[in-house]
Amino acid sequence: MKDKTQLNDEAKARLAALPEVLGPKDRLQIPVCPMPSQEPSVRCHNMQEVALGYGEDQAVLEAKRCLQCKNKPCTALCPVGIDIPRFVGFVAERRFKEALDVILESSLLPSICGRVCPQENQCQKNCTVGRSHKDIDQAVAIGRLERFVADWAAQNGISAVPVPAADSGHKVAVVGSGPASIAAAADLRKAGHEVWMFEALHKTGGVLVYGIPEFRLPKALVGREIDKLAAMGVHIETNYLVGRTRTIKELREEDGFDAIFIGSGAGLPKFMGIPGENYVGVFSANEFLTRSNLMKAYDGSHAATPLYNAKRVAVFGGGNVAMDAARTALRLGAEHVSIIYRRTREEMPARREEVEHAHEEGVEFLMLSQPVAIKADERGRVSAVVVRDCVLGEADASGRRRPVEVEGSDHELPFDCVIVAIGNTSNPLIKMTTEGLDVDKRGNFIVNEETLETSIPGVYAGGDIVLGAATVILAMGQGRKAAAAINRRLAGK
Ligand code: FAD
Ligand code: SF4
Ligand code: SF4
């Protein structure tokens, strides 16, 4: 079978024909290297990763497209400021280890961010190559190159486990084990503190493990990062619910923690508040994805709690979570999956690539459609969704055009399962059990912007619990920022 991670003959000839020293014109003529992927008709029946990743020659050819802009517009839009031209320049010269070192100066999780960052809104958005072609799809594929470098390092056994500094005599608790907490724990342990990570679930990794499906982010990659923490000496406790097992006050006053970082995320699903949401066969996307990812519901022979056997699935929402739920439903055996979204594809918050992949796999998109009720059969099991048409009105505070419902346009569509994916808020448990912890009206922790310290001295927070549902790279950046502030505090600076 053809190895898709090898250059095809045409691209090979193009690489061979490139002059030794490339000028901007030569670089602009190299077409973007497509990401080798599993065929849609095959991948929609398996849980394996959709994107296969670049091979070496593909990465080198793609890296040669970079113009090495002095003003680095790409780096300016990377939330952690990776020196993109420098790492891409090393890839172009096949100096992959040096490329890795450049990335690791700023990011702890390149194999993850290279896969799931919304690059079209971040590093790739202002890429000069994309702008020269007046097409963002022509931007240098920075995320794919970052993923390539991280995967190359793993394949070549280059695993950088940082060596912690000498024992500082301080003890720090990290609540949660998502990207914010992984980053915080690594930087705190590097400074020589005794670090304890407390995770409520039986598996570590946060949304990277229970939310984002295997076909987009293999769990083994997340496991690798957690193993690194353990190898550095971080103590990891699962099934430990802060607020119940121990409270923040107990950790601070009785268990001797000198500082605490809270990265408890935004795991509480929102519902629509429409009639019928209590019927059998209605799931929050969180529950649906957690059952599939964490409890292996897709593996009928091993699943502890098999998922609902649905044939026609409606997914409400237009973000990454909705795409993940829809594509997971297909892989679990649904014959027909529809995304029901009240605006148009233009306004969808999901990453473009995810929308395209869902489309290729056969997910139907019902745009300008607002679900207004769910109907059930005599046994209380979902049988239909009542949908109202919408048109686009003026832009709202988010800058996107507001959906306006068209009265009298209600119509019923047959479904036997509904997945609600309209967003998450923070879980109120820690707030409810911690006196003096200030939160805003959405329940997000209020922190000092410079240090990420909460209203309780010595207690810091970052990631989705502060930002609301955000992104992996932003959560990771906040974990590092808080760790730096804790390190300064414990060093008496
Ligand atoms: P989380 O990853 O939510 O981790 C929080 C952890 O804290 C969890 O493990 C939780 O169990 C634990 N916890 C909570 N309360 C307690 C407690 N009281 N005691 C102990 N532990 C506790 N972002 C992207 O950048 N790209 C994507 O493609 C993308 N896709 C997504 C798809 C889905 C389905 C979802 C849900 C989110 C997606 N996101 C994506 C968003 C991204 O995953 C989050 O922004 C990010 O994971 C937030 O990291 P975090 O560390 O703040 O929290
Ligand atoms: Fe782009 Fe994300 Fe990598 Fe930054 S971390 S360079 S935004 S893919
Ligand atoms: Fe390279 Fe694009 Fe960054 Fe310029 S903006 S340095 S072309 S990746």
Architecture of the CATH domain 171-267+425-490: 3-Layer(bba) Sandwich (3.50)
The alpha carbon of 138 and the centre of ligand 1 are apart by a number of angstroms equal to 31
Please state, in angstroms and rounded to a whole number, the distance separating the CA atoms of residues 257 and 196: 9
Determine the distance separating the centroid of ligand 1 and the alpha carbon of 206, expressed in angstroms.
5
Ligand located closest to 126 CA = 3
The 10s digit of each residue's pLDDT in 235-247 is 999 999 999 999 9
pLDDT tens, residue by residue, 390-434: 999 988 887 888 999 999 999 999 999 999 999 999 989 999 999
Ligand 2 atom at minimal distance to the Cα of residue 77: 7
User: Which of ligand 3's atoms lies nearest the C-alpha of 68?
Assistant: 6
212 lines ligand 1 (CB under 6 A): yes
Whole-number Å distance, alpha carbon 22 to ligand 3 midpoint, is 15
Secondary structure (3-state) at 419: strand
Whether ligand 1 lies within 6 angstroms of the CB of 482 is answered as: no
Take atom 8 of ligand 2 and give the residue whose Cα is closest: 143
The domain locations on the chain are: 4-155, 171-267+425-490, 271-422
Percentage of residues of the chain with pLDDT beyond 90: 80
Q: Which residues line ligand 3 (CB under 6 A)?
A: 66-69, 72-74, 84-85, 88, 127-129, 140, 142
User: Is it the case that residue 440 has pLDDT exceeding 70?
Assistant: yes
Question: Structure tokens of 159?
Answer: 């695993």
Q: Is 82 in the pocket of ligand 2 (CB under 6 A)?
A: yes
- Reported as a single tens digit per residue, the pLDDT across 126-170 is 999 999 999 999 999 999 999 999 999 999 988 778 889 999 999
Query: What is the distance in A from the centroid of ligand 2 to the CA of 215?
Result: 20
- Residue 387's alpha-carbon distances to 302, 325, 390, 406, 448, in angstroms, are 37, 20, 10, 11, 44
Ligand nearest to the CA of 109: 2
Residue 12: phi and psi, rounded to 5, are: -60, -45
Ligand nearest to the CA of 268: 1
The rounded Å distance from CA 275 to ligand 2 centre is 41
Contact 18, 64 (CB under 8 A): yes
Q: Whose CA is nearest to atom 18 of ligand 1?
A: 242
* pLDDT value at residue 23: 87
Which pLDDT tens digit goes with each residue over 295-347? Answer: 776 666 676 666 778 999 999 999 999 999 999 999 998 999 999 999 999 88
Domain 4-155 has CATH 3.40.225.10: no
Name the 3-class secondary structure at 417: strand
Q: Which CATH number is correct for 271-422, 3.90.550.10, 1.10.274.10, 2.102.10.10, 3.50.50.60?
A: 3.50.50.60
Name the residue with the closest Cα to ligand 1, atom 23: 471
Over residues 84-140, the pLDDT tens digits come to 999 999 999 999 999 999 999 888 889 999 999 999 999 999 999 999 999 999 999
Determine whether the shortest distance from the Cβ of 172 to ligand 1 is under 6 A.
Answer: no
Q: What is the pLDDT of residue 397?
A: 81
> Which protein residue's CA is at the shortest distance from atom 1 of ligand 3?
66
**Is the CB of 476 inside a 6 Å radius of any atom of ligand 2?**
no
Choose among 45, 443, 115, 390: nearest CA to 267.
443
pLDDT digits (tens, 9 = 90+) for 259-297: 999 999 999 999 999 999 999 999 999 999 998 888 776
pLDDT band at 4 (very low <50, low <70, confident <90, very high): confident
Q: What is the largest distance, in Å, between two alpha-carbon atoms of the chain?
A: 73
Say yes or no: do domains 171-267+425-490 and 271-422 share a fold. yes
Cβ(265) – ligand 2 distance below 6 Å: no
Span 211-217, mean pLDDT? 94
- Helix, strand, coil in percent for the chain, rounding step 5: 35, 15, 45
CA–CA distance, 67 with 128 (Å, rounded to integer): 8
Res. 231: pLDDT tops 70: yes
Please state the atom number of ligand 2 nearest to the C-alpha of residue 124: 1
Averaged confidence pLDDT in the chain:
93
pLDDT one-digit tens code per residue, 181-208: 999 999 999 999 999 999 999 999 999 9
Task: Report CA(475)–ligand 2 centroid distance (Å).
Answer: 13
| Cα of 323 from ligand 3 centre, angstroms | 29
Mean pLDDT of 371-390: 97
346 close to 354: Cβ distance less than 8 angstroms: no
CA dihedral 347, 348, 351, 352 (to 10 degrees): -70
Q: What is the mean pLDDT of residues 435-460?
A: 96
